[in-house]
Amino acid sequence: MLASYKLGAVIVVSTIAASALFTVAVIPSAPPAAPAGQNLGAGAFDLSPFKFTERSGREVSQAELADDVWIASFIFTRCPTSCPRVSEAIGKLQSGPLKGSNVKFVSFSVDPDFDTPEVLKKYGEKVGADPQRWLFLTGPKDQVYGLILNGFHLSVAENPTADPKTGAEQVAHSDRLALVDRGSRVIGIYSSSDADALKALAAKAKQRSGLARAWVRTLPAVNASLNGTCAVLLALGFVAIRSGRWKIHATCMTLGVTVSAVFLACYLVYHYFVGSVAFQGAGPIRMTYFTILISHTLLATFGVVPLVTLTLLRVIKRQFDRHAVIARVTFPIWMYVSITGVVIYLMLYQLDIPAPPVGV
């Protein structure tokens, strides 16, 4: 009897050891560097509150946009060089890869004393801005500049040496585009003059806007809860069978299989919308994470799925002696996968990994 449990435990330990060796040999000790000023990863940060006037005359606040994915740009209507290019880039995103999506565009005037709502309205019409998707905001200069400098961590300043003949603009400002996710979180800063950066921006914005319903964002926590529930059911089933309570054992195992099936469905739905989520930690914590992740994945795929299936088949055929042998091998593997599912969630979504925001 104990030999079967030991076999399952040996499989788990051996898989962990092999995963650790693979991690040390192959996985870099730090996440690959993203292109400068693009996806911020762990450096994402929350945007401070604001309330400005839109070209239509109505007030638009950070709270109003909190459930939208939007792209921020910084322009002024008298700008001779960079702003027309920035607005052209936004226009191409609006009519090109992001056409028909839920992504919005918000252009902040860095010359708010001149750029009244009326002026911005004419400018918006000139660049072909969809009034339902592309907003133009103006407000008190100190508040606008404060948001850009301290909210977006980008540059803006009046230029005392402005000269239209040389192309020196009246306001020196960043020509970057900021991607703001739901919850008013800045997750990317992209060059407006680089075709690859704009392509990456469009892809990321479209992916994030694909999370059309808030419940999708709750799925990682749901999945962790399902894994934890499965571990509890496995423990209760183990205690029940050891004390000869067959019916309780059967109930716990049936619920365990059901919970695992629901987890798999939720996992697939979440990653269909979101894609993969990269771990941003570096050093020992990164090596630990990938050791757990790789061993978890291997044992879930090649251990739990076939062994649980085989165990159930033995029950269906009423081959209880053979069922017991397979179940003893399966138990430590299934328990490890369930527990590490919770650990992976905590490390990937809850671990605080500080990283300074990128300023450009």
How many CA within 13 A on the CB side of residue 58?
Answer: 7
What is the domain partition of the chain in residue ranges? 2-31+216-350, 41-212
Q: Find residue 52's DSSP bridge partners.
A: 60
Considering the domain delimited by 41-212, tell me its CATH architecture. Answer: 3-Layer(aba) Sandwich (3.40)
Query: Which residues lie closer than 8 Å to 59 by C-beta, 6 or more apart?
Result: 51, 52, 53
Query: Which residues lie closer than 8 Å to 99 by C-beta, 6 or more apart?
Result: none
> Do the Cβ atoms of 352 and 25 come closer than 8 Å?
no
Topology of domain 2-31+216-350 in CATH is Four Helix Bundle (Hemerythrin (Met), subunit A) (1.20.120)
CA distances from residue 117 to 42, 85, 114, 123, 299 in whole angstroms, order as listed: 36, 21, 10, 10, 60
Mark the ranges of the chain whose per-residue pLDDT is less than 70: 1-4, 32-37, 42, 161-168, 210-214, 274-275, 352-360
Q: Which two tokens stand for residue 100?
A: 């028909």
pLDDT value of residue 305: 95
- Same CATH topology for 2-31+216-350 and 41-212? no
Query: Which residues lie closer than 8 Å to 80 by C-beta, 6 or more apart?
Result: 164, 167, 169
pLDDT value of residue 356: 41
**pTM beyond cutoff 0.75:** no
For residues 285 and 287, give the distance between their C-alpha atoms in angstroms, rounded to a whole number.
5
Residue type, 176: R
Please count the other Cβ atoms lying within 10 Å of the Cβ belonging to residue 67: 10
Please count the other Cβ atoms lying within 10 Å of the Cβ belonging to residue 258: 13
